[in-house]
Structure 1
Amino acid sequence: RPVSELFESVCEHEIKAFTCEDCRFEVGVVRAPDDLVRQGLFEVVQPSLQTVAFPVELTAEVRFDDRRVAHVRPVAPGVIRKVHVMIGDHIKADAPLLEIESVAAGDAHGDMLEARARLQLAERAFERADSLRKGGLASEKDYLEAKTELDAAKIRAEAAKGRLHRLGGTGAGTIVLRAPVDGSVLELHAVPGELASPDESLATVGNNGAVWVWADLYERDIAKVMNARASGDLSAAVFVEAYPGESFPGTVDLISPSMDRSSRTVKTRIAVDNAGGRLLAGMFAKVQVFLPGEARALALPRSAVLEDEGRKFVFLHHREDYYVRRSVEVGRSWAGWVEITAGVTADQHVVARGAFLMKSDVLRSKMGAGCAD
């Protein structure tokens, strides 16, 4: 129906349907006060001409951003005796993660105690030699030998203390592994009674608010991707099976300088924002890397185009605080953009960010206004 006809229609309450709190949503009209737009809940945009990009499709895997996480492992082997944290715990740097009973830590502790005892003995011997020298009862040679022995004992004591510290030992053969950074416990592979090895990470601590997606770039695509990246950053879209029909935007930030000899692929890294933590390390993914073309098309941000029972639609600003649902026809999609082939013109204003909220009954109840189903 024409927009003018929708705004003139009368509801069962014998008033204009778009002004009725109960019936507004039935004609696809939403009321969104200007203050909600000013607060950033909604963003209104105009369709614009955008350069159409074509995708190169790659297989990939989600991994942690190594700059944001730390993998914790013991310096020496041992047996896990106590675990202080659980996956998902938020912790501060230096917080204890787990305790390990280690023969190496016990030996280091014993060496430190022995070194301290020898240091105390050397200190008493030096004090005696110094006193005798001052009284003329000991030679300079005896004094220097005592001083050299004292200096050597200090070095041995510091070395023993440092070795125990590097092991993370606290005494009695116990190693305490601590969090190296603030963050969350993202991975934990520790059960009391299990053996712990320096070759295996026991915990991963950090922030997964951003992740890396490592994709395999085949040899046939290397030239065109590298040439396109030389002209500027390349946008990408990441798809995972856990969220069908949904994509996560990212940017290609690294193409490996070497090729895997067995797979004949080049590792390509896509940086992806993961503020909600929905992308999990270890997920398999499909990636589309968008290479700029020459064609241009009228397009809207992907967030502006919604779907209901297979029909695409947008929320179009009509007048004042009122927005109306209008069907659109779409064409190609790329890098966060959707081509609009019919239904909206370049001079009209469309809701981008927040469009999905307009579709929901939740927003209708919050605003006391109607909402399109």
Structure 2
Amino acid sequence: MNRRIVISTIGAVLVLSLSVLGAYRLGARAGAGRGAPVAAKVLYWHDPMVPDQKFDKPGKSPFMDMALVPVYADEGQAPGGVAVSPGVQQNLGIRIAAVRKGALAGTLDTVANVAFDERELVQLQARSSGYVEKLFVRAPLEPVRKGQALLQLYAPDWVAAQEEYLAISRMPAGADTAGLLDAALQRMRLAGMTATQIRQVSARAQVSPRITVTAPADGVVSELSVREGMTVTPGAPLFRINGLRTVWVNAEVPESAAARVRPGMAVRATSPAFPGAEFGGKVEALLPEVNTATRTLKARIVLANPGGKLVPGMFATIHMMPAPGRETLLVPSEAVIQTGERTVVITQSGDGSFAPADVVTGTEADGQTEVLKGLKEGEKVVASGQFLIDSEASLRGTLRRIGGAASPVPARAAPAAAPAPAPAPATHHAAGKVERIARDEVTISHGPIPSLKWPAMTMGFMPPAGGLAQDIRVGDTVRFEIRATHAGRYEIVSIARDAAAPGGAR
């Protein structure tokens, strides 16, 4: 409900802004025309929210609760663009920036989470059959030190091998004694005894059926697989210990900035758990996998972890210093408009008129975006207020909307020998939830539609020409395609349930 109120408020503010703009132009025209013998000619009336529908007389809009706005013959127009007076530009908060040459060399900051360094992993397994008599570390995630006792095993298989060895060692020296002793030593090794344990048996000259397993390195017990009284067999897992001398940090790198991240690049990391502390490291690898939801790649970073402060699950901020890139054209990132099908900027010509220009962009950093194609150094682009200029252009019919075709349309086309076929209306894709189904309208709560510059909202659409499919019901999460009609409404071209979303499959 709050979402719909916010959307309604945004719509009301937009309508009010367009009405104020119309009143401003009307007042300016009236002020300029004082004392003039001839008034400006009204070409037609229309609803600013549905500018393609024209009316030959004033009245109330059939689409919105507002009066129709007149369009005059003397409104400023420019070939292939729209002219906006400096006063109106100031009132609308339009800001202009120049296209300049430069190289992106700013820092690249990204968020990350801490994980165990898999190269610091130690897996302890049973080397012989036995019974767990005593467990010294009884819970996972307990820190351990190198040499610390972990458990005590009773190994019956060791008893026979050790007694055989001791019996042979007590025999008088003879020709066959050395060979028998070597065979007994080999049987103890096969039973799973280490060289240290064999030396202890030889030095004490007594059977030692128990073994104390100790930690081979400092770290944290990440996995505990045994309990007191359990029987273990050779190869059975006992403990999994992860060292904390170094840790991995998996940083989310935007797809557009991935080309600037290289293995071996030095980084600094900070964590809200330790204000003021910095951890040094380097990029180990840029993993070849893209998150389709966030359009990011994971950079695996190895950080030194003195004192074992950083532990898995912590958040960290990674500060990278990529090498300066190539020198290219730069524009403010806010000047670039992504419509879903095109990348557009609004340019300002020398006579003050505005027109959209398709561009090819590169990487982005520190609020600046590379422009690889479509602009020249010194050109002026609109850094704020693009939507208002786009609306003004649509009101006057001097060029197509930013979300439409790439080529501008002049105010009046030259007569042709034969009429060209009308282009098919552009279609737009969206996803949402079906709220209501009526005979002549389908109400959908949809997300943002970039190609139309629509925010998330709930609105009604004309059903497809052949009607809705039988499996579309209220509450379904759907993906659909729409297009504008001559009446100013939007018609559903295709619609289908989104099986990947909750409620999209049955």
Q: TM-score range by the shorter chain?
A: 0.3 to 0.5
Which of 1 and 2 has higher RCO (CA within 8 Å, sep 6+)? 1
More helix by share: 1
TM-score (norm 1): 0.41
State which structure, 1 or 2, has the greater radius of gyration over its C-alpha atoms: 2
